[in-house]
Structure 1
Amino acid sequence: MTVLIVAGVLALVVGGCVCVVWAARGGPRWVRGVSTATLAAGELLRRSEKRRRRGTRNSGDAGDA
């Protein structure tokens, strides 16, 4: 079951990347929509990772003081 979930997520990621490339080359409207959603999801993941790293670093510094 876990393998199917991971395979499904991988298929969505690959499909999103294909849509980003296709939209850059002037794809149809639905491809541009999927591309925008994919780029927005990537940006959200990047921001959450930055916050997580910043929170870990701050909590470590507070313990040392």
Structure 2
Amino acid sequence: MVALVLLGLLAFAVGGCVCVVWAERGGPRWVRAVAGVTLVAGELVRASGRSRRRSLKRGGGDGD
């Protein structure tokens, strides 16, 4: 079951990347919309990773 969910997420990610490339080459409107959503989702994931690293730098490693 978990493998099926992960496979679905992978399919969405690959599909989003394909739409980004296609939109760069002038695809239809729906492709540009999917590409925009994919790019925003990527930025949110990247920002989440940055804030997580900052919190680990502040709070972790002081117990040595």
TM-score between both structures, scaled by the size of structure 2: 0.92
Q: Paired residue for 2:39? A: 39
Shift of 1:63: 5.7
Match of 1:11 in 2: 11
Aligned mates of 2:24, 2:63 — CA distance in 1: 47
Which structure 2 residue ranges, 5 or more long, are not aligned? none
Percent pairwise identity: 59
Task: Output one character per residue of 1:6-46: Cα deviation in whole Å (capped at 9) or x when no partner.
Answer: 11000000000000000000000000000000000000000
TM-score (norm 1): 0.91
User: Aligned residue pairs: how many?
Assistant: 64
User: CA RMSD of the aligned region, Å?
Assistant: 1.5
Q: Residues 25, 55 of structure 1: CA spacing in aligned structure 2 closer, same or farther, 3 A cutoff?
A: same
**Could you tell me how far 1:60 is from its partner in structure 2?**
2.7
